[in-house]
Structure 1
Amino acid sequence: MIDINTFNPRLQILFSVILTLVVGLLWYKTKMWLVPVVFVLTPLVLIGLLRIPFYIVITFIIFSYFRIHEAFPMMMPLRIPLAFSLASFFVLGWHIFLSNNIKIYWSTELTLVCLFLGWATFGIMFAYNKNAAFSTFSGVLSKVWVMTIAICWLVRSIHHFRIATYLYVVAGAMIGLKAISNKLEGIGLVEGTRVTISRNLGSLIGDPNDLSLVLMFPMSFTLSNLLQPNIGKLHRLLLAVAYVILFWAIIATQSRGGLMGIMTVTGYFAFKRIKNKLYIVAGAAMLLPILLVMAGVSDRSSGGAAEGGVDESAMGRIYAWMAAWGMAVANPFTGVGINNFYLNYYLFSPHWDGKNHAVHSTWFQVLAETGFVGLALLITLITMLFRRLWRTEVDSRVLPTSERNAIVTCNDGIFAGLLAFCVAGTFLTQGFTWPLYILLSMTVALAKILSERLAVEDLVKVDKEAINCTSCIK
């Protein structure tokens, strides 16, 4: 760690004099009173940022994933994601290389995610359109990669964990309220009925399927916190309101993948709390048609009741998946390259209707764009994540009730979110977006926190046994 107090006093004086002269010279030449103010405030701001690395990174992730600045365009001139991305890299670099405040560790899951993302990056060299692939890597994938590891190292306590989950809930509720408002006012509707946000600005949540994905992510954490024991009535009421907002907003997207996500999240918590599983099956059988009616899926111009047999939306997905399989067969090792499915749809689709289409499936997206190797790595990674989450819940049983409840609440939110990712991912394209990687980093961080806590418990147990042995000898 670099400490200026270890420098020679003469060097400190010389450094101070030089800095003062520089500030004075700039002020003399520019006559701008802001110059000395900036030089005074900048070190203070940087010191402040260094003290809150967790909040800097979490804020960057929330704005990048939930696109809050696009949902509320008056924030766009502030360039908040860019500002917090620069602050995040500065803070991370400082604490990793120049201080000892961050504990660096590794795990099997981090190795697998690096192999998967590394393979996707390697495939850029063989991509059909290298510019499109590199643009996605530099604009999205590289940030996701770095921040995935950053969250693992920065979430150092259950307190951090709870703050992160609640921030996701608040951000999700904000986007949900915006979606509901757009639905009620008829703003940005696709096909006349499906809600979007800032579609006119080209926002990432300007597609109803992507919007449902964004809203589904915080739903698992909302329900997990809502069902935890021993919380206040006001606390529970606010979480219930947030759940209703998210539920309503997802329904308004009329996304069948989103509806499957709702079923998955709700079903997971029902499975854990209802002993007779027949009730769950019966409830699911009744809930699904109710959700379809509430969402008004039959009113959609694509995939609605007006289309007989296999509807246009379903056939579009089938054609896209056939195209993805063709891309993988033609390029079994590296695929066609990230962000290249849409550009190569014409070359591999068995049916051409005059325009390219998205793949509408995480699994087929990864298969087409990274080949069979990439898909195998992704499936292995997700399998290891489920195993780690199961192991965390089992190991937490030896902890005191209050600590165990806190860990299980966080673990349940992640587990439900990962299940929803797998199910909804069959119909939504999210292979290289934030949800999976946030869930991964939180899984690894929670397992690390638990392992440290169990180590403390073991030491306490050993000390008690030693004291008891000493007493017996006496």
Structure 2
Amino acid sequence: MSKFALLFIVVVMGGVAATFLVSGAASFILYQLIYFLNPGARWWSVEIPQLSYSFIAAVLMLFSLGIRYRQYTEVSPWRRQPAFKWMLALLVMYFLTNLYALNPAAHHRFTIDLAKLVVIVLVAYKLLNSERTLNAALWGYLIGATYIGYLATITGRNSGDRVEGIGLVDSPDANGVAAALVPAGALLMYYAWMGNWKVRMLCVFCGALIANGLVLINSRGAFLGVVAGSGLYLLYMIFSRYRGKGQRAMAIVIAIAGLSGALYVTDAQFWERMSTLQDLESRESGSGRVTFWLTTFDMLEDHPMGMGVQGYNQLASVYMDDATRGGVENRSVHSMWFQGLSEVGPVGFAFFLIMLVTLYRSTKRARRWVIANGDNRVYFKMLAIECGLISYLAAATFINQFRAEILYWMVMLVAVAVNVFYLQKVTEEKAAPVRGRRRNQSMVREAG
């Protein structure tokens, strides 16, 4: 048995054991690792039992929630996160779009996949109900992303100027894989900034493999995502008035080290491909990508409620000239935002935007509260998770990732941070006087 097959078996067995012996949150960590390891698509999969490992992890999650539902609900009620209400509304729109989708079979299949993902996200939110479990989930993601970076490194560019064939379950192409790695930038910067020397060494190791993987995959959208999210977080690290003593100097050291490492791993092929970003209408930059985006509005004039999954692909050759656009038969819209708009129309897309807006409002209140209580460390951790989500949204602007696992993971992780660092604390503060009064009343009764 190969070392990867053996490692996978150990991961699965360890995850199952940890679920029963340590915490139900371990089942979600197992789910994360299985997602990145993606055994069904790896060469070593012939050496392991042919089982649906993601299904096993999902069942473990549901079982963990079921046996302690009341306990989890007390600390992580769904109703206190308005973003989940809009996520469910979006899912309902996908089911309604079944009535008029242009490709009913594809739309139904991917709607069921989205429903499963929403269930996973809602269950994981309850299981990740402490800072310890949140950290475990963040590192579960980072370790998984590091494995993809390692896989890209040992595979090398095998398709022109990029790596192909190392895809994830829901993101088989190179651009989707690269987008999945992008949120790691801001998270690694936080842990390198706030962690001890051991954590910093681990961050350097993970960051090197992830950065090298991104360079080899050579995705322009991922590059913009890193610049947007990690760049924003770097500005907070250096210029925020809430940083602690000596943290600016450490932030500058991390920035210099990160930029030096990035320049070291990049090559001429990478910069040649990135240079095409200056003209989104050039053939080298996606064969008129902006035109593909704007054509969505022409389609919506005839299909105001959306066209369902792959509906845009079917209509591309009808609304665009194949001869002048470089081939548009079954072409995708190449943007998460316009993908969602084309699939579920303006109403469903509005639900998605409201979900993001309500999530931002929740995090804004939470960050104000933690600063008022003098917890700068938590403030910057919440910012790192938010910047990870921003990174993914920026990268997915140029690829079809509206229903991607990582996107909804990041939404859930931001919601978990709000719950752990704000909602739970506020609830405890409100409950403390009540408990005090009850204790005093009990003492009075005993004395009487």
Relative to the length of structure 1, the TM-score reads 0.74
| Number of the residue aligned with 1:470 | none
Is the 2:336–2:399 Cα contact (8 Å) retained in structure 1? yes
Q: Deviations over 1:336-366 (max 9, x none)?
A: 1124333333233343526322221011101
Deviation at 1:414, TM superposition (A): 1.7
When residues 351 and 47 of structure 1 are mapped into structure 2, their CA distance, relative to the original with a 3 A threshold, is: closer
When residues 447 and 347 of structure 1 are mapped into structure 2, their CA distance, relative to the original with a 3 A threshold, is: same
Matched residue type, 2:388: G
Paired residues for 1:175-186 under 5 Å: 175-183=148-156, 186=157
| Number of the residue aligned with 2:44 | 74
Percent of aligned positions that are identical: 20
Is the 2:165–2:172 Cα contact (8 Å) retained in structure 1? yes
When residues 290 and 379 of structure 1 are mapped into structure 2, their CA distance, relative to the original with a 3 A threshold, is: farther
Q: Deviations over 1:118-164 (max 9, x none)?
A: 112211221001111011122x2011110121122111111111111
When residues 90 and 226 of structure 1 are mapped into structure 2, their CA distance, relative to the original with a 3 A threshold, is: same
Alignment match of 1:365 (pick from 339, 344, 348): 339
When residues 408 and 298 of structure 1 are mapped into structure 2, their CA distance, relative to the original with a 3 A threshold, is: closer
- 2:298 paired with 1:326: yes
Deviation at 1:393, TM superposition (A): 1.3
**Separation of aligned partners in 1, 2:31 and 2:148:** 16
Alignment match of 1:85 (pick from 58, 62, 68): 58
When residues 408 and 304 of structure 1 are mapped into structure 2, their CA distance, relative to the original with a 3 A threshold, is: closer
When residues 325 and 400 of structure 1 are mapped into structure 2, their CA distance, relative to the original with a 3 A threshold, is: same
**Separation of aligned partners in 1, 2:58 and 2:321:** 42
| Number of the residue aligned with 2:83 | 109
Q: For structure 2, which runs of at least 5 residues remain unmatched after alignment? A: 1-15, 242-251, 437-448
Deviating more after overlay: 78-87 vs 420-429: 78-87
- 2:216 paired with 1:256: no
When residues 357 and 332 of structure 1 are mapped into structure 2, their CA distance, relative to the original with a 3 A threshold, is: same
Q: Deviations over 1:436-459 (max 9, x none)?
A: 211222222222222222333456
**Separation of aligned partners in 1, 2:55 and 2:188:** 28
Paired residues for 1:307-456 under 5 Å: 310-333=282-305, 335-351=306-322, 353=327, 355-399=329-373, 401=375, 405=377, 407-449=378-420, 450-456=422-428
Matched residue type, 2:382: N
Is the 2:292–2:334 Cα contact (8 Å) retained in structure 1? yes
When residues 291 and 212 of structure 1 are mapped into structure 2, their CA distance, relative to the original with a 3 A threshold, is: farther
- 2:143 paired with 1:170: yes
Paired residues for 1:241-280 under 5 Å: 241-275=205-239
Aligned length, in residue pairs: 398
Secondary structure at the residue paired with 1:126? coil
Secondary structure at the residue paired with 2:183? helix
Secondary structure at the residue paired with 1:128? coil
**Separation of aligned partners in 2, 1:349 and 1:302:** 27
- 2:103 paired with 1:135: no
Secondary structure at the residue paired with 2:235? helix
Is the 1:220–1:417 Cα contact (8 Å) retained in structure 2? yes
**Separation of aligned partners in 1, 2:58 and 2:116:** 8
Deviating more after overlay: 348-357 vs 448-457: 348-357
Is the 2:214–2:222 Cα contact (8 Å) retained in structure 1? yes
Deviation at 1:276, TM superposition (A): 9.7
Q: Deviations over 1:419-448 (max 9, x none)?
A: 112322221221111122112222222222
Paired residues for 1:89-238 under 5 Å: 89-96=62-69, 100-103=71-74, 104-106=77-79, 107-138=81-112, 140-183=113-156, 186=157, 189-190=158-159, 192-198=160-166, 204-228=170-194, 231-238=195-202
When residues 327 and 308 of structure 1 are mapped into structure 2, their CA distance, relative to the original with a 3 A threshold, is: closer
Could you say what the CA RMSD is over the residues aligned between the two structures, in angstroms?
3.7
Matched residue type, 1:135: R
Is the 1:179–1:197 Cα contact (8 Å) retained in structure 2? no
**Separation of aligned partners in 1, 2:208 and 2:349:** 35
Deviation at 1:410, TM superposition (A): 3.4
When residues 308 and 325 of structure 1 are mapped into structure 2, their CA distance, relative to the original with a 3 A threshold, is: closer
Is the 2:65–2:126 Cα contact (8 Å) retained in structure 1? no
Matched residue type, 2:233: F
Q: For structure 1, which runs of at least 5 residues remain unmatched after alignment? A: 1-44, 465-474
Relative to the length of structure 2, the TM-score reads 0.78
Deviation at 1:62, TM superposition (A): 3.9
Matched residue type, 1:369: E
Matched residue type, 2:412: S
**Separation of aligned partners in 2, 1:440 and 1:391:** 16
Is the 2:292–2:333 Cα contact (8 Å) retained in structure 1? yes
Larger radius of gyration: 1
**Separation of aligned partners in 2, 1:350 and 1:385:** 40
**Separation of aligned partners in 1, 2:22 and 2:320:** 53
**Separation of aligned partners in 1, 2:264 and 2:101:** 41
Is the 2:65–2:127 Cα contact (8 Å) retained in structure 1? no
Secondary structure at the residue paired with 1:125? coil
**Separation of aligned partners in 2, 1:55 and 1:389:** 25
Is the 1:161–1:410 Cα contact (8 Å) retained in structure 2? no
**Separation of aligned partners in 2, 1:267 and 1:308:** 22
When residues 265 and 309 of structure 1 are mapped into structure 2, their CA distance, relative to the original with a 3 A threshold, is: closer
**Separation of aligned partners in 1, 2:435 and 2:371:** 21
Matched residue type, 2:31: F
| Number of the residue aligned with 1:13 | none
| Number of the residue aligned with 2:9 | none
| Number of the residue aligned with 1:468 | none
Secondary structure at the residue paired with 2:367? helix
**Separation of aligned partners in 2, 1:222 and 1:301:** 23
Is the 2:185–2:230 Cα contact (8 Å) retained in structure 1? no
Is the 1:124–1:338 Cα contact (8 Å) retained in structure 2? no
